C-alpha cells in the first residue's frame, strides 16, 4: 500500500483522546456501576486516562482486579447499561477545533470512527456532539469483540476503502493500525505516545490543513 498523504481518500478516527476527553464522565459511570454491586470506588478521570484505548475488560482488570463479587460478563453488562443511561447527558469535552475540522474534512474525504468502546459509545459521541451526519460508518469493539486491527480490516472491506488512514493517540493504536497494514496518523494532543507513526500533528487544525492540501484520489 502506498503510504503517501496524496493517496489518502478516507480517514478513520479513534474517539477518546483523539476527538474528545470524556474521562471524567467515564469515571462517574464506573463509580456508579461499582456502587451498584456494593463495591466502593472513587475513580477519577486521571485514573482512567492511563487505560484509554484498552478493551473494557482490560480496563476492568486494571482498575478492579479480583475485587468484584460478580463475573466479568455481569459487571461489563451492568457497566454498559449505566453508560447508556448516563453518557447521553454527561458527554465529553471536544478538543478545540474538532467540529469545525471534521466539517472541512468531510468535504474532501470519507470519514469513519472506530474505537475499543462499548456498543453505543460512538453513537453517544455523535449524538452528543451533533456530528452524525459527518461519518459514513461507526464500529466499536463492543459491537464486534475482536482486536482493533481486525475491526480495521473489517471496516476497510465493508466500505470498500482504498487508501484509508487511522487517526489515534497511542502506541497501541499505531501497532494495531500497522497490523492491519494501514498508515497511522498520530494525534499528539491526545492521551498517549507513539514512536513510529507515518504522520503526526500537534493540533487537529494542523492535520486538517495538511490533509486538505493533498491531491487526494477521491
Strands 93-94 and 110-115: unpaired
pLDDT of residue 140: 95
Q: What does DSSP say about strands 10-13 and 164-168: parallel, antiparallel, or unpaired?
A: parallel
* pLDDT exceeds 90 at position 208: yes
DSSP H/E element including 124:
helix 121-129
Q: How confident is the model at residue 27 (pLDDT cuts 50, 70, 90)?
A: very high
Fold of 5-21+94-212: Rossmann fold (3.40.50)
pTM of the model: 0.91
Domain boundaries, the chain: 5-21+94-212, 23-90
Residues sharing a CB contact under 8 Å with residue 100, sequence separation 6 or more, in sequence order: none
- In sequence order, the 6+-apart residues with CB closer than 8 A to the CB of 181 are 1
Residue in this structure with the C-alpha cell 478493551, named with its chain if needed: 55
- CATH for 23-90 is 1.10.150
CA-to-CA dists, residue 148 to 14, 76, 183, angstroms: 10, 19, 14
All 3 cell numbers of residue 165? Answer: 488512514
Q: What is the pLDDT of residue 185?
A: 98
The answer, yes or no, to whether residue 8 has pLDDT greater than 70, is yes
Amino acid at each position: 500500500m502506498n503510504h503517501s498523504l496524496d493517496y489518502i481518500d478516507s480517514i478513520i478516527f479513534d474517539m477518546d483522546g483523539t476527538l474528545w476527553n470524556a474521562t471524567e464522565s467515564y469515571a462517574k459511570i464506573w463509580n456508579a456501576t461499582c456502587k451498584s454491586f456494593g463495591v466502593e470506588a472513587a475513580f477519577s478521570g486521571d485514573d482512567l486516562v492511563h487505560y484509554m484505548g484498552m478493551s473494557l475488560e482490560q480496563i476492568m482488570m486494571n482498575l478492579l482486579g479480583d475485587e468484584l463479587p460478580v463475573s466479568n460478563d455481569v459487571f461489563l453488562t451492568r457497566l454498559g447499561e449505566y453508560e447508556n443511561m448516563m453518557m447521553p447527558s454527561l458527554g465529553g469535552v471536544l478538543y478545540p477545533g474538532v467540529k469545525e475540522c471534521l466539517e472541512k474534512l468531510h468535504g474532501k474525504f470519507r470519514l469513519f470512527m472506530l474505537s475499543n468502546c462499548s456498543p453505543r459509545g460512538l453513537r453517544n459521541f455523535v449524538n452528543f456532539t451533533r456530528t452524525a451526519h459527518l461519518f459514513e460508518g461507526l464500529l466499536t469493539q463492543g459491537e464486534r469483540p475482536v482486536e482493533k486491527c481486525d475491526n480495521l480490516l473489517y471496516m476497510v472491506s465493508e466500505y470498500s476503502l482504498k487508501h484509508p488512514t487511522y487517526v489515534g493517540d497511542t502506541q497501541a493504536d499505531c501497532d494495531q493500525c500497522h497490523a492491519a497494514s494501514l498508515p497511522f496518523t498520530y494525534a499528539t494532543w491526545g492521551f498517549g505516545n507513539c514512536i513510529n507513526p507515518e504522520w503526526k500533528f500537534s493540533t487537529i487544525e494542523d492535520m486538517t490543513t495538511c490533509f486538505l492540501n493533498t491531491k487526494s484520489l477521491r
